C-alpha cells in the first residue's frame, strides 16, 4: 500500500480546511482598506498579505506592516488568527489519529518490510505459516545458513519469531499468505527467491499460495502441505513441484519398515538432524493381527497401507458412520479395555493409536500394554508440546505431522540430491542398505552423520576445476583423501554423483570428476571441512595428487629453488 497516498487520503479534509482559511485570510487583508503614514487609503497586495498570514499563524508578537492596521484590518486579523489555530488543531489531531491507526501502522510495516525484501542480496526461501511445522523448518534452514522470509497470519507468531535465537536474521510479515499482495511484498517475484513453501493449517490457503506462485514466478520450486486428496490432486494438476501429505508419508515409512527395516533405518539416519543420536532399528511385525484406533485421515492411510502389505487390521472407531469405517469395525475409542478386547488385543501383534487427541492416544497405548505388553506400538502425536509424555510412553514409532513435513522440506531444499538418493535406494534390497549402515556406523559411531552436497564449479571446487583444465584428472579417491596425510582417507562416503541426467549410486573410488558434476556425501563434520579445503585450495589438492608439498609465497619458493 502506498503510504503517501494513504496519508493524503486521510489528511485531505484538514489540508483543504487549512488552505481555505489561509486563502480567506489573505483575501480579506487584500480587500480591507488600510492607511499609510500620510493618512491616504492603501491596499495590501497579495504578496504582503500572504507573507503576513504566513508568520501570523506560526508566531505571536508580530508587527503590523508596512503601516499600522486600521480597526477593520485588526478585526479581520483576529478572526483569521483563531481560524488558523483551530484549523491547525484539526490537522494535527487528524495526523495523530492516523499515526495511531492500526491499519496505517500495518501499512507502514508492510511498506518497510517490502523495501527491505527488495534489497535482499542473498537467495532465500519464502515460508508461509510459522506454526509448529514452519518454525521447525525455519530453524533447520537457518542452521544450514540458508536465508528465509516468513509470512504468518498471527501477529503473536511473528513476534515470537523475532525472539527466536536463530542463526540467521529472518524477516517476517504479519499477513495473509492467500493474498497475492502479501506474497509479492514478501519477495515472490524477487529474482533471488528460490522457492515457496506453503505450510499453513488450511488446505485452501496452501492451494492459493501454490497457484499464485506458479502464475507469478513459475521457475521457482513450490512445496505445499496437503491433508486432503482433493486438494493434493488439484495442486498436482498445475505442476506443484512437491506435495506433502504427512499421513501418507508416514504410512509409506511404515511400509518400508515392514518390508526392509534396514532401508528404513538408513533413511532415518541420513535424513535426521545433525548431532542427534542415531535411531535404533525397528522391526514391525510383518504378519499377525493389527489394531488401528481412530479411522480419520491418518487411520485410513495406515489401514490401506497395511492392507497393501497383506495384513488385515481391525479398526476401532467412535463414529464409524461419519468416517466410513470398513466392515468389522469395533465401536469405541479404544481407551477402554473392553473395546480393545473386542478388537482382539490378546491376539494382536501391532497397535496404532491414531486419533486426533494425544490424551486418548496415550490412554489407548497404556491400556493396551496392560493387556498385551509385547505389542509393537505406533503413536500419533498431534501437538509438539506433548512431546515429553509421548516420549515417555516409549512407542516404537511416532507420527508427528509437523516433524515429518519439516524434515521432508528440509531435505528437499537443503540437500535435494539426498531426496534423489533415497528415491533410488527404494530399488535396492535390504542387505545393500545394511551394508551401507555398517559403513556409516564406522564413520560417526552414535551421532547422525552430516550430509552435504558439492558441485564441481568455480565457486565450490576451484582447485579441482583448475586441475582438470590443466589436464590433470581428479578421481573420487583423491577427493576423499586427507589433505594433511594423503595416505589416510576422510571419514566420509560418496553416496551419489549426478552428471547431467545420469546418476551413479555409491560411485567407485576411481570415478573421474568433471566440471558441473554434483556429489552427495555423508560423514563426519571434520571430513566435510577437510574435503572443502581440498576442493578450493590448489596446494592441498596438489599434495594429494602428487605427494609433494608446494611452497607457498615467493620467499619459500626461492629457498626451495
Show pLDDT as tens, one digit a residue, over the chain (561 residues): 577 888 888 889 999 999 999 999 999 989 998 888 888 888 889 998 888 888 877 665 567 778 888 888 889 988 988 898 899 999 999 999 988 988 888 888 888 999 999 999 999 999 999 998 899 899 889 988 889 999 999 999 999 898 888 888 999 999 999 999 999 999 999 999 999 999 998 999 999 999 999 999 999 999 999 888 888 888 888 888 999 999 999 999 999 999 999 999 999 999 988 778 888 899 999 999 999 999 999 999 999 999 999 999 999 999 888 888 888 899 998 899 999 999 999 999 999 999 999 999 999 999 999 999 999 999 999 988 898 999 999 999 999 988 899 889 989 998 999 999 999 999 999 999 999 999 999 888 788 999 999 999 999 999 999 999 999 999 999 999 999 888 999 999 999 999 998 999 999 999 999 999 999 999 999 999 999 999 999 889 989 998 877 666 666 666 555
- What is the C-alpha to C-alpha distance for residues 115 and 119, in angstroms, rounded to an integer? 7
The predicted pLDDT at position 555 comes to 64
Running DSSP on this structure, what letter comes out for residue 385?
G
Under 8 Å CB-to-CB from 164, ≥6 apart: which residues?
135, 139, 170
Longest dimension (CA), the chain: 123
Helices 71-100, 102-118: axis angle to 10 degrees equals: 70
Sign of torsion, CA 268 252 364 374?
negative
Alpha-carbon distances of 230 from 203, 204, 233, 252, 481, rounded to whole Å: 10, 11, 5, 19, 51
Classified as helix, coil or strand, 448 is: coil
Running DSSP on this structure, what letter comes out for residue 545?
H
Q: Where are the alpha helices (DSSP H) in 125-202?
A: 132-143, 155-163, 180-185
**b/e burial code for range 390-427 (CB count within 10 A of at least 16 → b):** beebebbbbbbbbbbbbbbbbbbbbbebbbbbbeebee
The predicted pLDDT at position 168 comes to 87
Nearest alpha carbon to residue 444 among 533, 525, 531: 525
pTM equals: 0.79
Residue with C-alpha cell 481412530?
294
Classified as helix, coil or strand, 488 is: strand
- Bridge partners (DSSP) of residue 475 are 512
Q: Where are the alpha helices (DSSP H) in 144-245?
A: 155-163, 180-185, 203-216, 229-237
Where does residue 60 rank: exposed (0-12), middle (13-18), buried (19+ CB within 10 A)? Answer: exposed
The predicted pLDDT at position 461 comes to 93
Q: What is the pLDDT of residues 389-412, one digit of tens each?
A: 999 999 999 999 888 998 899 899
Residue with C-alpha cell 515409512?
253
> Is residue 162 a contact partner of residue 172, using CB atoms and an 8 Å limit?
yes
Nearest alpha carbon to residue 182 among 102, 110, 127: 110
Q: Strand 397-400 vs strand 221-225: parallel, antiparallel, or unpaired?
A: unpaired
Q: Strand 481-482 vs strand 485-489: parallel, antiparallel, or unpaired?
A: antiparallel
Amino acid at each position: 500500500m502506498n503510504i503517501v497516498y494513504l496519508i493524503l487520503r486521510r489528511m485531505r479534509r484538514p489540508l483543504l480546511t487549512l488552505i481555505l482559511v489561509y486563502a480567506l485570510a489573505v483575501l480579506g487583508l487584500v480587500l480591507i482598506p488600510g492607511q499609510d503614514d500620510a493618512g491616504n487609503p492603501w491596499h495590501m497586495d497579495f504578496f504582503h498579505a500572504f507573507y503576513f498570514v504566513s508568520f501570523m499563524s506560526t508566531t505571536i508578537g508580530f508587527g503590523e506592516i508596512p503601516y499600522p492596521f486600521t480597526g477593520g484590518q485588526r478585526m479581520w486579523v483576529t478572526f483569521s488568527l483563531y481560524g488558523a489555530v483551530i484549523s491547525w488543531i484539526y490537522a494535527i489531531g487528524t495526523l495523530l489519529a492516523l499515526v495511531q491507526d492500526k491499519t496505517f501502522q500495518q501499512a507502514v510495516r508492510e511498506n518497510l518490510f517490502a523495501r527491505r525484501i527488495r534489497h535482499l542480496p542473498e537467495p532465500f526461501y519464502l515460508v508461509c505459516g510459522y506454526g509448529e511445522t514452519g518454525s521447525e523448518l525455519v530453524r533447520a534452514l537457518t542452521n544450514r545458513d540458508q536465508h528465509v522470509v516468513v509470512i504468518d497470519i498471527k501477529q503473536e507468531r511473528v513476534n515470537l519469531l523475532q525472539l527466536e535465537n536463530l542463526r540467521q536474521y529472518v524477516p517476517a510479515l504479519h499477513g495473509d499468505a492467500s493474498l497475492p499482495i502479501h506474497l509479492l511484498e514478501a519477495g515472490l517475484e524477487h529474482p533471488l527467491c528460490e522457492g515457496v513453501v506453503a505450510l499453513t493449517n488450511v488446505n485452501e490457503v496452501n492451494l492459493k499460495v501454490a497457484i499464485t506462485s506458479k502464475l507469478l514466478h513459475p521457475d521457482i520450486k513450490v512445496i505445499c502441505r496437503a491433508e486432503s486428496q482433493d486438494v493434493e490432486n488439484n495442486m498436482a494438476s498445475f505442476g506443484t513441484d512437491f506435495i506433502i501429505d504427512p499421513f501418507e508419508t508416514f504410512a509409506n515409512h511404515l511400509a518400508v519398515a515392514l518390508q526392509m527395516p534396514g532401508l528404513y533405518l538408513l533413511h532415518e539416519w541420513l535424513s535426521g538432524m545433525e548431532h542427534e543420536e542415531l535411531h535404533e532399528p525397528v522391526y514391525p511385525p510383518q504378519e499377525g493381527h493389527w489394531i488401528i484406533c481412530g479411522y480419520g485421515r491418518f487411520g485410513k492411510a495406515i489401514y490401506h497401507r497395511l492392507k497393501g502389505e497383506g495384513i488385515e487390521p481391525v479398526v476401532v472407531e467412535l463414529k464409524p458412520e461419519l468416517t466410513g469405517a470398513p466392515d468389522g469395525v469395533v465401536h469405541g475409542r479404544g481407551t477402554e479395555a473392553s473395546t480393545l478386547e473386542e478388537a482382539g488385543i490378546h491376539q494382536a501383534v501391532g497397535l496404532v493409536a491414531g486419533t486426533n487427541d494425544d490424551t486418548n492416544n496415550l490412554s489407548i497405548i497404556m491400556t493396551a500394554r496392560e493387556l498385551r505388553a509385547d505389542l509393537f506400538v505406533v503413536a500419533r502425536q498431534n501437538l509438539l508440546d506433548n512431546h515429553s509424555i509421548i516420549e515417555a510412553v516409549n512407542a516404537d514409532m511416532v507420527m508427528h505431522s509437523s516433524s515429518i513435513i519439516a524434515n521432508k522440506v528440509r531435505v528437499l531444499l537443503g540437500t535435494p540430491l539426498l531426496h534423489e538418493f533415497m528415491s533410488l535406494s527404494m530399488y535396492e534390497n535390504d542387505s545393500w542398505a545394511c551394508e551401507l549402515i555398517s559403513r556409516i556406523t564406522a564413520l560417526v559411531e552414535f551421532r547422525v552423520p552430516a550430509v552435504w552436497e558439492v558441485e564441481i564449479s568455480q565457486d565450490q571446487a576451484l582447485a579441482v576445476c583448475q586441475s582438470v583444465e590443466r589436464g590433470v584428472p581428479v578421481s573420487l579417491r583423491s577427493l576423499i583423501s586427507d589433505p594433511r596425510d594423503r595416505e589416510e582417507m576422510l571419514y566420509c562416503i560418496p553416496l551419489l554423483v549426478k552428471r547431467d541426467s545420469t546418476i551413479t549410486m555409491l560411485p567407485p573410488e576411481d570415478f573421474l570428476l568433471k566440471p558441473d558434476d554434483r556429489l552427495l556425501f555423508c560423514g563426519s563434520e571434520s571430513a566435510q571441512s577437510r574435503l572443502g579445503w581440498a576442493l578450493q585450495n590448489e596446494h592441498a589438492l596438489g599434495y594429494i595428487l602428487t605427494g609433494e608439498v608446494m611452497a607457498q609465497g615467493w620467499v619459500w619458493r626461492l629457498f626451495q629453488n
